[in-house]
């Protein structure tokens, strides 16, 4: 059966999660993001610059889903969970890439000699990260192990200390890695990205424990809310 679809307005959302599940985030027990996404800050992996085209349709199965819900059928819940896992997995991966960004930069750039002389163990930590097993599975997702995130944070804090000390010196060098935009984002916004990554993991855990959150969100949506 064909369903008429009407193209609506173009809306901007603060993140891809809100784009796929608009209005879900404020009602979560996990609370709001520890750091709101700020556009056009490129350091925020979940930031979304473009607008989304809205489409309006009257779902012929809406009454069916309502009835199934009353009888305890969880088919809708599992379908929503499948989409939710897909979106969250992508966002976790993007956040993890940002946490690793500084570490990966050193595989392609050489630090100025002045930095190497002043380093206090961060290069040893850099090499030790290579020996770690970074990922594990849980709550239907794959994500970094806490021990790996802790190692990345230690490396970041060691290098940030070195970076801060070197930048106060008048002879501080300006090599290619220090001019790299992505590297600059890593240095300046690491803690924001890490906090949002932990928050996203907690959101995933909350949804896995209570699928009714997604069902209530889907069936309780106000069709005029996004106009």
Alpha-carbon distance of 227 to 163, in angstroms, equals: 47
At 137-152, the pLDDT tens digits run 877 888 899 999 998 9
User: Which pLDDT score is estimated for 200?
Assistant: 92
Any idea of the CA torsion for 153, 34, 51, 9, to the nearest 10 degrees? 160
At 167-199, the pLDDT tens digits run 777 666 666 666 777 788 888 889 999 999 999
User: Which pLDDT score is estimated for 135?
Assistant: 87
Q: What average pLDDT does range 46-61 have in this prediction?
A: 63
Contact yes or no for 214/86 (Cβ under 8 A): no
The pTM (predicted TM-score) of the whole model is 0.80
H or E stretch including 129? helix 122-129
């Amino acid at each position: 059966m064909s369903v008429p679809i009407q193209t609506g307005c173009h809306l901007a959302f603060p993140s891809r999660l809100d784009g796929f599940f608009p209005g879900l985030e404020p009602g979560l027990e996990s609370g709001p993001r520890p750091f709101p996404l700020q556009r056009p800050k490129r350091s925020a992996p979940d930031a979304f610059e473009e607008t989304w085209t809205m489409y309006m349709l009257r779902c012929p199965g809406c009454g069916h889903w309502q009835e199934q819900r009353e009888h305890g059928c969880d088919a809708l819940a599992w379908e929503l969970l499948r989409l939710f896992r897909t979106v969250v997995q992508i966002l976790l991966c993007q956040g993890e890439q940002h946490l690793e960004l500084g570490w990966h930069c050193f595989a392609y750039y050489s630090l100025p000699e002045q930095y190497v002389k002043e380093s206090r163990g961060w290069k040893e930590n850099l090499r030790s990260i290579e020996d770690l097993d970074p990922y594990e599975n849980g709550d239907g997702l794959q994500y970094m192990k806490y021990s790996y995130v802790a190692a990345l944070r230690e490396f970041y804090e060691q290098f940030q200390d070195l970076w801060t000390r070197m930048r106060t010196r008048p002879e501080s060098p300006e090599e290619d890695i220090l001019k790299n935009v992505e590297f600059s984002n890593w240095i300046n916004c690491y803690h924001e990205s890490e906090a949002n990554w932990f928050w996203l993991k907690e959101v995933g855990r909350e949804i896995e424990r209570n699928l009714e959150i997604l069902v209530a969100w889907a069936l309780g949506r106000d069709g005029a809310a996004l106009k």
